[in-house]
Amino acid sequence: MAVLAQRNVSHSRGYRLRKVRNKVLFWVVLALFIVFACFPVYWMFITTFKEVNDLYNLQNNPLFFHLPPTLDQVRYLFEKTNFSIWVENTAEVGFVVVLITVLVCVPAAYVLARSRFPGSGGLSMGIFLTYLVPPTLLFLPLSQLVAGFGLVNSKWSLALVYPTFTIPFCTWLLMGFFKNVPKEITEAARVDGCSRLGAMFRIVLPVSVPGILTIVIFAFTLAMQEYVYALTFVSSSDEKMITLGVVTDLIRGDVFFWGSLMAGALIVSIPVAIVYNLFMDTFVRGITGGALK
């Protein structure tokens, strides 16, 4: 009897030990993943607010501040570079891209999601596959096309080209939203004498406002962070959008203005990171064409 009790105790101690060990292991591995993911952002942050003398002093531990934090680098970004122009350009181009995307996607997604007509399946596949076509395949011919439109070295070339990737992505996202509106509602409206167009505008669109807002956000942020087309089509500083401006204009010859560069990087990243974190599941659903429910 006593022996049995003894064994029981040792068993539970071993069990408890293993449990603690697993728990420690879990947190250590998780922490490693988090450090790997976040360290570059911490590094942007610390670079942004360091005094230049501190930043480039090899004697100092680079991970912490040795002189009080400063806003000099941020100030340099706003006062001595075209940063505010890039922000304006981003807003203007982003607005036009969003406008084109919404005007083109809403009707297309609506019929592809809710009507059956010859070729509708093929068309929706075709639009989906367009998303797979990368900028690196088309930047050369598009640069000629852009020249044909008289948009050489103009930010409006980007407003013209960006919908090529926002349209497929947003059409598929919207199709998901439109499919969720029950068919019976529009059928009832049709019986009551509403036209197809009327049913779309008066019944389905009003309840799909969240979906349309989602594609507005995605179209804007996708345009805002694009790099390859921007690099190809635009070279004057005052025509650049924010991402391209930050990663190209703060390098003069061989000299990198790391403090201001990281300040710009941080300013671009924060809004986009917040939006994508909030909409992560929707975003992944958009990419995978609704494979994830």
Partner 1 sequence: MVAEFARSRSLGLGGTGARIGHLLDGERIFGYVLVAPAVAYILLLVGYPFAIAVWFTVSNATTARPIAEFTGLTNLLAVLDDDIFRRALANTFIFTITSQALQMVLGTILAFLLLQNFRGRRIARGLIMIPFTIPIAIGAMAWTWMLNPTYSVINWMGVHAGLFTEGPNWLGEEYPAMISIIIVNVWRNLPFSAVVLTAGISAVPQEILEAAHLDGANWWVRWRKVIVPIIAPILYIALLFSLVFTFTDMTVVWLMTRGNPVGETHVIASYAFQTGVVAGSLGRGATMSLFLFPVLLIGAILLLRNLKARTID
Residues 141 to 180: which contact partner 1 by CB under 8 A?
Answer: 141-145, 147, 160-161, 163-164, 167-168, 171
Stretch that binds partner 1, among 11-19, 72-80, 126-134, 175-183 (CB under 8 A): 126-134
Decide if 260 contacts 250 (C-beta within 8 A): yes
Work out which of 77, 105, 159, 215 binds partner 1, going by CB under 8 A: 105
Work out which of 140, 185, 188, 213 binds partner 1, going by CB under 8 A: 140
Decide if 102 contacts 216 (C-beta within 8 A): yes
Which residues, numbered 177-216, are part of the site for partner 1 (CB under 8 A)? 193-198, 202
Decide if 222 contacts 165 (C-beta within 8 A): yes
Work out which of 52, 85, 138, 207 binds partner 1, going by CB under 8 A: 138
| Residue with smaller CB distance to partner 1, 1 or 64 | 64
Decide if 60 contacts 66 (C-beta within 8 A): yes
Decide if 104 contacts 164 (C-beta within 8 A): no
| The pair of three-digit structure tokens given for residue 146, joined into one six-digit string | 């852009």
Q: What are phi and psi of 252, to 5 degrees?
A: -110, 110
Buried b (16+ CB within 10 A) or exposed e, 126-150: ebbeebeeebeebbeebbeebeeee
| Residue with smaller CB distance to partner 1, 25 or 213 | 25
Stretch that binds partner 1, among 1-9, 71-79, 180-188, 254-262 (CB under 8 A): 254-262
* Shortest Å distance, C-beta 4 to partner 1: 26
| Residue with smaller CB distance to partner 1, 2 or 206 | 206
| Secondary structure element (H or E) that encloses residue 255, with its range | strand 255-256
Give yes or no for residue 137 binding partner 1 (CB under 8 A). Answer: yes
